[in-house]
Amino acid sequence: MEFKKIIIVSLLFILFSHMMVLQKSFATAEKLEGFPELPATEQVEYDKFWTLIGELDFKTALKQGQKLQTMLTNDEYKKVVSDISELIKSKSWSNKKLLREFILLERNRLYWQEHNWWPRNYQYNDAMEDVNKILSGFENVMSKYPKSDIADEALFRLGLCYSSMGELGLEDFEKAIDIFTDLKLKYPNSSLVDDADYKIIGIKRIISGETQISNETTINLLKEFIAHYPESNKIIHARDDLGFYYKMSSNYTLAVKEYLTIVQLYPKEKESVLKSLKELTHIYRYDLIDVVKEREMLQMIIEKFPNTLDSKLAIERLRDLRKEKGTVLFY
């Protein structure tokens, strides 16, 4: 009996130690060589965010994430907190341990891929070791939980990893295309199907290079995407890309049409609207040489984005046009 007690106590101690190590990893795993450092007070709050996730207290972690959005001065860390918070909110909490495992993988992927932190003072072999751990981690999640609401996410993020490795010359892009295609076949009802298709278009564009033929191919792929996924969260990006490739192909009329569509259909997407108006201004000024239309775009920038640097530059450009043409403009 005494021996059994010793065994039980020993097992409980091992389990407790493992849990403490796991929780500690959530609080400290981000402190890797080459990563930007946070001020001490911010680091404490940032560590708390990950400790709460390690303890499976997602509700409090989300509150901590909101707090961090207002206090973090480093945009890269702020983006990580935002992305992880959105992931927590979008997934079921029925299997919290699985979600925690996935969150840790996603955090490491964000560090490595989205923010390109790993090359900073980081040995190549160490970096690839971390990358391989991320890849195997996502593969394990898919194989162990193929019917979970995380399986399609894991497959998509695996594709993102290979896509980034292709950009860095570390892996063949075809591997990423195969993974994104596999996602569409295995999870046809996934909310990530359109994202996978959009990624495939981007990869094919990189592979084909900068030629007139590849521009036409990309244009056709983007038109198909827009027609097939009118409600996609990538629709504005796709229209912006389509405008860009029309412009690259010297088809300025269709480029103008796409940029104007963004301005008219998505007025709440301020960043995209401003970008489109600036593109339109550039086309009218340098490509179509249409001063009247250029003025219209400048006036829209002033009206929609008052008290901004872009508005100030638009006003200055209108003044220059007035001097050049000797006309009076009202704004």
**For every one of its 331 residues, what pLDDT tens digit does the chain have, with 9 covering 90 and above?**
554 444 444 433 434 444 444 444 454 444 444 457 899 999 999 999 999 999 999 999 999 999 999 999 988 889 899 999 999 999 989 999 999 999 999 998 888 765 554 444 445 555 667 778 889 999 999 999 999 989 999 999 999 988 888 766 666 789 999 999 999 999 999 999 999 999 999 999 888 876 666 899 999 999 999 999 999 999 999 999 999 999 999 999 999 999 999 999 999 999 999 999 999 999 999 999 999 999 999 999 999 999 999 999 999 999 999 888 654 444 3
Q: What's the pTM? A: 0.80
What pLDDT does residue 238 have? Answer: 98
What pLDDT does residue 280 have? Answer: 98
What pLDDT does residue 35 have? Answer: 56
Do 183 and 159 form a contact (C-beta atoms < 8 A)?
Answer: yes
For 191, list phi and psi in degrees, rounded to 5.
Answer: -70, -5
d(C-alpha 39, C-alpha 44), whole Å: 9
d(C-alpha 260, C-alpha 245), whole Å: 15
State whether the Cα torsion 263-267-69-161 is positive or negative: negative
d(C-alpha 322, C-alpha 328), whole Å: 6
List C-alpha distances in Å: 115 to 108, 124, 176, 239. Answer: 10, 17, 19, 25
What pLDDT does residue 115 have? Answer: 54
d(C-alpha 89, C-alpha 74), whole Å: 23
What pLDDT does residue 12 have? Answer: 39
Structure tokens at 191: 């909310």
Q: For 174-207, give the DSSP string.
A: HHHHHHHHHHHHH-TT-TTHHHHHHHHHHHHHHH
Structure tokens at 238: 């796709």
Do 171 and 165 form a contact (C-beta atoms < 8 A)?
Answer: yes
What pLDDT does residue 180 have? Answer: 97
What pLDDT does residue 126 have? Answer: 59
Residues 6+ apart with CB under 8 A from 174: none
Structure tokens at 183: 């996602």
